[in-house]
Amino acid sequence: MRYKKLWQTILIVNFAKDSRTPFASALSRLGLGYGLAVLLGRLLTKAIGQAELPPSLPTAVIIDLSVAVAFILGGLVMLTMNASQTAKSKSASLQKLIRLMPLPRLVRWGAVILPGLITLSMLGLFGGILVSAAAQKLQADPIVVVACWLLGLLSGYGLVLCGWPRNLALKGLAYSVITTIGLGLFDWSVNHPTHDYYQLLSWGVGAIFLLPLVGLWQSYYQQHTYLLYSDNSESRQLIPDYVPVGFWFLVKLWRNTRTRNSFLLALCLNVLLGLSMVLRHKVVSDPYSMLIIGGILAATFAGDVRGVMRRHVPPEIVLVSGAKGIAWSEVRAVIICGFLIGLPMLFALNGQVDASLRFVFFYSSLQLFCAMAGLLASTLLVPGAGESGTQFFTGVLATSALVVFPKFAHLSNVAYANQSLYWLVAGVILGWGIFITESLRRRNYGRT
């Protein structure tokens, strides 16, 4: 295979960090990722087996659901990962090198999209197991439903790859518009099953979610414009002098393109979700559980934070009284950002609960936990800009804490309103973990 070395290098750059045997590390990490995907998929399949699903759902509805969920999930993951890429990142360096290689169009395109495809394939495997089980239970054709799931994921990636709009914020907006229109149409079609145009509407829902697949085609034919490298128009945003010195890390996060994009994307998504709930007068059965969306976004953002500094002994360490000073600055900044990210959903749901103060306390505890989980994952793995694999695993680690902790603390039988203290204590423990990790890393620096 002529391009074997090239594919190996792409895997190494994206999935093997700080390793002396990079290719073996990349393979073992990918193996671990796929293994986890299968394991989680199989675990959740049992839950689907026990769940009470409507007995006679039309196949069109199942297909629409599969495409919609896949697009929403795939698009969110790829947008978040894309937000944290910069022109100076490691994978951008590889892209520059690839740009100068005499490669056929297909190989060049493959080299650009491969890391994203690998990440999506893990989601595809995990979700594929689940939707296949759900399709079987609902007596639909599992092959068709899984194919729709995969197409939905690819469509989410297509949105990120498409040439227009180029700006990531606009892509985020397009993502929200597609999701809102698609889900609105889906709601309407499900509620009007006897309407003359029901069948047409069902196809329409699928078509809306699959429209961004055009982005894949576009990226193939216009790839030279994607691979061009120009990082000089980056503008430096200045923070006013009245920001206190202790919040320097917040300033650093804002000035860093990667974390700023990541924060703005998470905030925008939550604002749009909150707005759509308010505008559609959506009443949810359990407003507490909806706050988890903000928590996931906060954890994903926090997962990017540690990567803005050097892994070992960042230069800032001399100014902020050692590793603990660094950790404390990060914790403060991440808590503030985490709280801001979740606020839109809090405002949107606040009118739907009786005990407003208790709701806010739950929100605060949850956001604290999620921010700390994300930061701890980030501190452990230190995902650099453009390291798709490490970013993905950090995100998975951060968000899976949200799933693992309630199981571990046996919270499934406790009402959400009474869980606040658990989340708060767990958040503080995770925060402590960040201090310990940074201190150990500082203490062991230079030892082999």
Partner 1 sequence: MRERRRIILSINELKIKRSSTFQLTIPFLNLTPGSVTCVVGANGSGKTTLVEAIVGLIPPKSGVVKVSGFEAHSDSAEVRRAIGYIPDDDTWIIPELTAREYFELLASVQTNAGSKKRMIVRAHELAEELLFTSFNQQLGSLSHGNKKKVQIIAGLLHDPHFIVVDELRNGLDPIAIIQAEKILKRKQVGGSAIIAATHDLWWAERFADEIVMIRRGQVVLNDYTKNIVERSGSLEKSFMEHYSHAL
Interacting residues toward partner 1 by CB under 8 A: 2-6, 9, 12-13, 16, 19-20, 22, 88, 90, 93-94, 96-97, 99-105, 108, 223-225, 228-230, 232-233
- Find the distance separating the first CA and the last CA of the chain, reported in whole Å: 38
**What's the closest the beta carbon of residue 144 comes to partner 1, in angstroms?**
37
Residue type for 278, please? V
The 10 Å Cβ neighbour count of residue 388 is 25
Nearer to partner 1, 108 or 138 (CB): 108
Cβ atoms of residues 284 and 359 within 8 Å: no
Name which of 86, 77, 221 is nearest 153 in CA terms: 77
Residue 437: CB minimum distance to partner 1, A: 23
> How far apart are CB 90 and partner 1 at their closest, in Å?
8
Task: Say how far residue 160 (Cα) sits from the centre of its chain.
Answer: 13
CA 270 vs CA 75, 229, 265, 413: distances in Å: 15, 31, 9, 28
CB of 12 to partner 1, least distance (A): 5
Residue 256's CB: how many other CB atoms inside 10 A? 21
Q: How far is the CB of 222 from partner 1 (least distance, A)?
A: 11
Question: Going by C-beta distance under 8 Å and a sequence separation of 6 or more, which residues neighbour residue 426?
Answer: 369, 405, 409
Smallest distance, partner 1 to C-beta of residue 224, A: 5
Chain CA centroid to CA 19, Å: 25
Q: Could you tell me if 357 and 343 are in contact, meaning their C-beta atoms sit under 8 angstroms apart?
A: no
Residue 113 CB, shortest distance to partner 1, in Å, is 15
Q: Which is nearer to partner 1, 90 or 137 (CB)?
A: 90
Question: Which residue, 100 or 238, has its beta carbon nearer to partner 1?
Answer: 100
Residue placing its CB nearer to partner 1 in the complex, 90 or 332: 90
| Least distance to partner 1, CB of residue 380, Å | 20
In three-state secondary structure terms, 219 is: helix
Q: Which is nearer to partner 1, 236 or 281 (CB)?
A: 236
Residue 94 CB, nearest approach to partner 1 (Å): 6
- Alpha carbons 436 and 282: distance in angstroms, whole number: 43
Report in angstroms how near the CB of residue 5 gets to partner 1 at its nearest: 4
Cβ proximity to partner 1, 2 vs 410, nearer residue: 2
Find where tokens 């969920």 sit: 69
Q: How far is the CB of 240 from partner 1 (least distance, A)?
A: 22
Q: Which is nearer to partner 1, 384 or 431 (CB)?
A: 384
The DSSP result for 388-419, as a single string, is HHHHHHHHHHHHHHHHHHHHHTT-TTS-GGG-
C-beta closer to partner 1: residue 87 or 173: 87
Q: Supply the minimum distance, in Å, between the C-beta of residue 232 and partner 1.
A: 4
| 15: nearest Cα among 91, 108, 79 | 91
Q: How far apart are CA 48 and CA 43, in angstroms?
A: 9
CB-based contacts of 309, cutoff 8 Å, min separation 6: 316, 326
Return the number of the residue (102 or 446) whose C-beta is nearest partner 1.
102
Q: Of the two residues 151 and 381, which places its CB atom closer to partner 1 in the complex?
A: 381
CA dihedral 266, 268, 274, 277 (to 10 degrees): -110
Contacts with 160 (C-beta within 8 Å, 6 or more apart), sequence order: 75, 78, 79, 82, 116, 171, 215
Token match 């204590």: residue?
A: 425
Give just the sign of the alpha carbon dihedral 104, 108, 111, 113.
negative
User: By C-alpha distance, which of 125, 155, 152 is closest to 42?
Assistant: 125
DSSP state of 384: P
User: Which of residues 6 and 317 has its CB atom nearest to partner 1 in the complex?
Assistant: 6
Residue 88 or 137 with smaller CB distance to partner 1? 88
